[in-house]
Structure 1
């Protein structure tokens, strides 16, 4: 696997989303060919959670001061300890060898996006003033289904600046029912009337 991924990624010199997309696509193809896709999808979700939860691991990934060999060994030790399978460990090894550990979180996100796209899952990015409870989550999912979004994955984020309500982004569509937005519209209307 290491040679397959590295050949498809080292030829490119781009960075950002294009690079993350290429790594994600290479991993997806390899996992699909080896009939390990479901396991790799679950482990990549776990890797995203690990990166988000561990400040030490994020520092390891982001540090430009750690040489490639040390960074590779350290990341492999963490993944081994956390119980990740060979495919994901090898993949992260290739990412480390190619000096792209700094982009690993982006690659994990690109992989999740690719999986969702291939499986026909639409992601709704929901920002709320307070964490949603289960009832609110179910009501939101029902409303999205009514709006024509059948298989929806809800990605939640809390932003207290909204004051109340929700901001939902599905693809290019934005549904903004936040109190902050309503107050801004009222303020603009009052300025126009004056």
Structure 2
């Protein structure tokens, strides 16, 4: 994927510069990706071949002028504009965030429950998982009433579905087979 190559190159450049360049660049990329996600017109413009690279560059320059961005981010956006690849900025951001997590030894995960969990329960789940995994964990907690009860946990590339919905679906399949 082309976004991965760009993200890795930017990541390596920031890493060589040292300091807090990685975190700063990650925050700035995320801010730009958020602007694009909240403005579908901007995303469509960057994908539209009817607009020249210079026109797209002028637009990204205007977006960058509204915030405080480091020279490395500004130059990176100019490069993407010159190459006609500004539309991949959200994908570059996603890959960059994963690379930063790997660098810091952090794993991300998601916990889905049918009802909102109290903060103490969320912290307990997080600390137990960190103990089992042996590394820092950042969890997003979401509510989805469709799972009926229990929870669905996704950490890294592993999915643990201990929801009532999954158990009912399994029971339904067993009944269909006559087990």
TM norm. shorter chain > 0.5? yes
Matched, 1:151 2:136: yes
Structure 1 residues 27, 173: CA separation in 2 closer, same or farther (over 3 Å shift)? same
Matched, 1:58 2:43: yes
Tell me which of 155, 166, 177 is aligned to 1:181.
Answer: 166
Alignment of 1:1-194 (within 5 A): 16=1, 19-35=2-18, 36-129=21-114, 134-155=119-140, 159=144, 161-193=146-178
Q: Structure 2: state its 5+ residue gaps.
A: none
Q: Cα deviations across residues 117-148 of structure 1 (Å, max 9, x unaligned)? A: 11111121444456666445323312312322
Identify the range of structure 1 (21-30 vs 139-148) with the bigger mean alpha-carbon deviation: 139-148
Structure 1 residues 78, 174: CA separation in 2 closer, same or farther (over 3 Å shift)? same
Q: Work out whether residues 122 and 149 of structure 1, in 8 Å CA contact, stay in contact via their aligned partners in 2.
A: no
1:124 counterpart SS class: strand
Alignment partners' CA distance in 2, 1:154 and 1:138: 10
Structure 1 residues 160, 149: CA separation in 2 closer, same or farther (over 3 Å shift)? farther
Q: Structure 1: state its 5+ residue gaps.
A: 1-15
Q: Work out whether residues 126 and 155 of structure 1, in 8 Å CA contact, stay in contact via their aligned partners in 2.
A: yes
The CA RMSD measured in Å over matched residues stands at 2.5
Identify the range of structure 1 (88-97 vs 132-141) with the bigger mean alpha-carbon deviation: 132-141
TM-score computed with the length of structure 2 as normaliser: 0.82
Count residues in correspondence: 177
